[in-house]
Chains A and B, each alone.
Chain A
Amino acid sequence: MIILWTDGLICALILSILALGFALRGKEHLQRPLNTIANNSVGMVSLMVLVFFVLIGLLDSVHFKQQGASNEIISALDYWATPLRTQGEKTYSAPFATHLFSKEMMTQADGSTQWGYPRLQFGGQHLSNDSDKLADILQKAAVGFAQGAAIFLLLYFIKVQGARFKVQGKKSGFHLLPFTFYPVPTTLLILITLSCILIHLSGYYHVLGTDKVGEDVFYQAVKSIRTGLIIGTLTTLIMLPMAIIFGILAGFFRGWVDDVIQYFYTTLNSIPSVLLIAASILMVQVYMANHEADFTSVVVRSDTRLLFLCLILGVTSWTGLCRLLRAETLKLREMEYVQAAYALGVKQHTILLRHILPNVMHIVLISVVLDFSSLVLAEAVLSYINIGVDPTTFSWGNMINGARLEMAREPIVWWSLTAAFVFMFALVLAANLFADTVQDAFDPRRGTQ
């Protein structure tokens, strides 16, 4: 078991979210917005998609050293997807293809050579005849569908049993009446069956084809989930303390504290963020090139760069939230209840912690969920300019970057780009919809609409 920096931080993040949830359970003023979210079907569906992505990301965040000759650092997801990872092809192949995408010279069994499309080493190798392919795919998909449906029914059964156990007599069990549409269970059903079908099929085919060096595109797209999630979450983790502390202090103490903090964030803000990121990443590259001994493994190397990227993104993006918090604190400190606390002789830090901080938390929460999707999108752009994640890291930005020239090929290689598009779109759309729901629920100005 090896804990990389990002793994450890993700773990810390999840533990702190759990602890926060535990500390805040049963608080009346939080129940209302949470209920609003729970009753909003768009919000719940997008939350479910997000949780699905997070689970894959977590599975990919458990790293250990593989026993055996190669001694690589791999994650639990890699271990699970070993056939996908190891059984590559020579070069491009289309989704579900049995032959390579480009012609080459092949040597026949009798020694003569022929110009044609060679058979894939892995994709569809169990087929004896190419004409069986469609039937075989459908049959394999049906098996996957059956597995998925079985898992769903099992979950559903557990839920019904659990519900019966907890609230006796309440008829929460008869959800799945025919011809009635329930968005949340339907999404769960679609997610589970779809992933089962894909998992089952990818054991026999390259479901989304292979890329230039013959690596499975489906595997790349799935591996990229972790990178996207880490950039979206760790950056917020890094920027939050700075934004909250500076924003509240500036608004609360005013005077020279405010001046200094304002100077600080105007300076940072006035540097174009892309250039600041570029400059910092250049520096990290120089540092890594000069300290090669510290970064022996490729995984450690790319992980360090990912962490640095989050750090820099955090440094460039905290100013917006800081300004919002400062303005809100300026408003709050003149409120009657804060004045009353003053008059009663409550100490300053107690006022800050007990009266100001909880009352700006909704802004923090809203900006965290709003930032998430823009950070995932930013990663793709940064990777395109070569100042994003390490080129060896799997990420949607790197996939797009690699696939950019493939659109100019004849016939075009569309699957890498499409795969990156679909996965990224699903994650970002879910995040955007969920952010909307959270904003509606927690923003007092939007609550009544």
Chain B
Amino acid sequence: MTSYLIRRFLYAFPLLMGVNILTFVLFFVVNSPDDMARMQLGQKRVTEAAVSNWKHQHDYDKPLLWNSEAVAEKKVTETIFYTKSVGLFLFRFGTSDSGRNIGDDIQQRALPSLAVALPTLLLGLVVNISFALMMVLFRSSYLEQAGVVVCVVLMSISSLFYIIGGQFVFAKVLKLVPISGYDDGFASIKFLILPVLIGVFSGIGSGGRWYRTLFLEEVEKDYVRTARAKGLTETQTLFRHVLQNAMIPILTGVVVVLPLLFMGSLIMESFFSIPGLGSYTIDAINSQDFAIVRAMVFLGSVLYIFGLLLTDISYTLVDPRVRLS
């Protein structure tokens, strides 16, 4: 177990290196720092001095991969690739193009993101699973067919419409909650209700359908027939046997996304102006702040790989048949 974890941990490095190289190619090779400088400073009539000044301010005034003017090991270390990559691997994200410290920003904004994403995930899980269980309980009846139709219809509506419609009905017409905004501490609850509810509701379609197929596959198995033959009622078999066994794929599916919750939801946060990492990313994209986007890409990959590791561990915890070796 321990040696497996160490091996998995070491395997994360080549993956992160791959991510780093890919983003490096995207951000520095496809477009040179000169292009970026011109983009930031405005396209036309930029003097050479202004460009080189901007590059110097942002540490972009080194060669990309190989510094032939430096001596010894500095041939490698005095390059954009080396300085930027080492910073990322040590979680020193540096300053954004607008001059703010990215690491501090991320720390501040992770909590609001989590405050939206975690309740949405948990509540969504409960709602989806109960909806799916209801459909399976009433399987091959009109009730199930109606449930499936509702799922397909809900699935076919873009999440944007749920948000716009929800904001319009609950915040503008009924005036139950504020339209958007955020506050510190428990005062934020009234701002969070609507995004969480909308997030849950927009997930019912695909979530309910997915869990339904999971349960249906489980219901056909032999042990369920045995349970029924023992004389258990349908509800007892469903809740005690089927639900428990179906929890394995459900749990592992949830564990993968757990670390990514920190990244927040792009759309939700920007619609409800919640100062989380999602809206941070959107703002960076809109203002074309490459340093932030690069940091977020790297952070997202780290969290995803961490999620994969957690999944493996959770497999051994919930399913005694799986051994890590």
Interface residues of A (CB under 8 A from B): 263-264, 266-272, 274-276, 278-280, 282-283, 285-287, 289-290, 373, 377, 380-381, 384-387, 396, 400, 404, 407-408, 412, 417, 421, 424-425, 428-429, 432-433, 436
A285 vs B39: C-alpha distance in the bound complex, in angstroms? Answer: 9
Using A282-B293, A380-B158, A385-B282 as known contacts, say yes or no to A263 and B15 having CB atoms under 8 A apart: yes
Grouping DSSP codes into helix (H, G, I), strand (E, B) and loop, the B interface class, with mixed when no group exceeds half, is helix
In the complex, chain A residues whose CB is within 8 Å of the CB of B35: 286-287, 290
11 inter-chain pairs at a CB distance below 8 angstroms, sorted by A residue, are A263-B15, A270-B301, A271-B304, A276-B297, A278-B285, A283-B30, A377-B159, A407-B168, A417-B164, A428-B158, A429-B156
Among the listed A386, A387, A421, A432, which residue makes an inter-chain contact with B161, where contact means beta carbons less than 8 Å apart? A421
Q: Does B156 lie within 8 Å of A428, measured CB to CB?
A: yes
Closest to B30 in A: A283
In the complex, chain B residues whose CB is within 8 Å of the CB of A436: 152
In the complex, chain A residues whose CB is within 8 Å of the CB of B286: 386
| B27: Cβ under 8 A from any A Cβ | yes
Q: Does B160 lie within 8 Å of A385, measured CB to CB?
A: no
In the complex, chain B residues whose CB is within 8 Å of the CB of A272: 260, 263, 296-297, 300-301, 304
Grouping DSSP codes into helix (H, G, I), strand (E, B) and loop, the A interface class, with mixed when no group exceeds half, is helix
A274 vs B26: C-alpha distance in the bound complex, in angstroms? Answer: 15
A80 vs B167: C-alpha distance in the bound complex, in angstroms? Answer: 39
Q: Does A267 lie within 8 Å of B19, measured CB to CB?
A: yes
In the complex, chain B residues whose CB is within 8 Å of the CB of A271: 19, 22-23, 297, 300-301, 304
Please give me the 8 A-B residue pairs with the lowest Cβ-Cβ distance, nearest first: A267-B18, A272-B300, A429-B156, A428-B156, A270-B301, A270-B304, A286-B31, A278-B285
A421 vs B165: C-alpha distance in the bound complex, in angstroms? Answer: 11
A280 vs B294: C-alpha distance in the bound complex, in angstroms? Answer: 11
Knowing that A270-B15, A380-B160 are A-B contacts, what are 4 other residue pairs whose CB atoms are under 8 Å apart, sorted by A's residue number?
Answer: A264-B18, A272-B300, A280-B26, A287-B30
Q: How far is the CB of B128 from chain A (nearest CB, A)?
A: 17
Q: Please report which residues of chain B, range 279-316, place their CB below 8 angstroms from some CB of chain A when the two chains form the complex.
A: 281-282, 285-286, 288, 290, 293-294, 296-297, 300-301, 304-305, 308
Q: Does B293 lie within 8 Å of A278, measured CB to CB?
A: yes
In the complex, chain B residues whose CB is within 8 Å of the CB of A275: 281, 293, 296-297, 300
Q: Does A282 lie within 8 Å of B288, measured CB to CB?
A: yes
Closest to B301 in A: A270
Q: Does A425 lie within 8 Å of B157, measured CB to CB?
A: yes
Q: Please report which residues of chain B, range 126-166, place their CB below 8 angstroms from some CB of chain A when the two chains form the complex.
A: 152-153, 155-161, 164
Total chain B interface residues with beta-carbon distance under 8 A? 48
In the complex, chain B residues whose CB is within 8 Å of the CB of A282: 285, 288, 290, 293
Q: Does A279 lie within 8 Å of B297, measured CB to CB?
A: yes
Among the listed B156, B158, B159, B305, which residue makes an inter-chain contact with A270, where contact means beta carbons less than 8 Å apart? B305
**Chain B 108-127 interface 0/1 with A at a Cβ cutoff of 8 Å (1 = within):** 00000000000000000000
In the complex, chain A residues whose CB is within 8 Å of the CB of B281: 275, 278
Q: Does A432 lie within 8 Å of B156, measured CB to CB?
A: yes
Q: How far is the CB of B9 from chain A (nearest CB, A)?
A: 15
Q: Does A385 lie within 8 Å of B153, measured CB to CB?
A: no
A287 vs B281: C-alpha distance in the bound complex, in angstroms? Answer: 21
A424 vs B152: C-alpha distance in the bound complex, in angstroms? Answer: 14
A387 vs B270: C-alpha distance in the bound complex, in angstroms? Answer: 14
A426 vs B232: C-alpha distance in the bound complex, in angstroms? Answer: 44
Q: How far is the CB of A431 from chain B (nearest CB, A)?
A: 8
A424 vs B155: C-alpha distance in the bound complex, in angstroms? Answer: 12
Q: Does A400 lie within 8 Å of B164, measured CB to CB?
A: yes
Q: Does A400 lie within 8 Å of B39, measured CB to CB?
A: no
Q: Does A385 lie within 8 Å of B285, measured CB to CB?
A: yes
In the complex, chain B residues whose CB is within 8 Å of the CB of A386: 285-286
In the complex, chain A residues whose CB is within 8 Å of the CB of B288: 282, 285
Q: How far is the CB of B306 from chain A (nearest CB, A)?
A: 10
A260 vs B35: C-alpha distance in the bound complex, in angstroms? Answer: 34
| B38: Cβ under 8 A from any A Cβ | yes
In the complex, chain A residues whose CB is within 8 Å of the CB of B167: 407
A278 vs B308: C-alpha distance in the bound complex, in angstroms? Answer: 24
Q: How far is the CB of B8 from chain A (nearest CB, A)?
A: 12
Closest to B289 in A: A282
Closest to B216 in A: A449
Among the listed B14, B26, B285, which residue makes an inter-chain contact with A387, where contact means beta carbons less than 8 Å apart? B285
A276 vs B290: C-alpha distance in the bound complex, in angstroms? Answer: 12
Q: Does B31 lie within 8 Å of A270, measured CB to CB?
A: no
Q: Please report which residues of chain B, range 229-285, place their CB below 8 angstroms from some CB of chain A when the two chains form the complex.
A: 260, 263, 266-267, 270, 281-282, 285
Among the interface residues A266, A272, A381, which one has the most CB atoms of the partner chain B within 10 A? A272
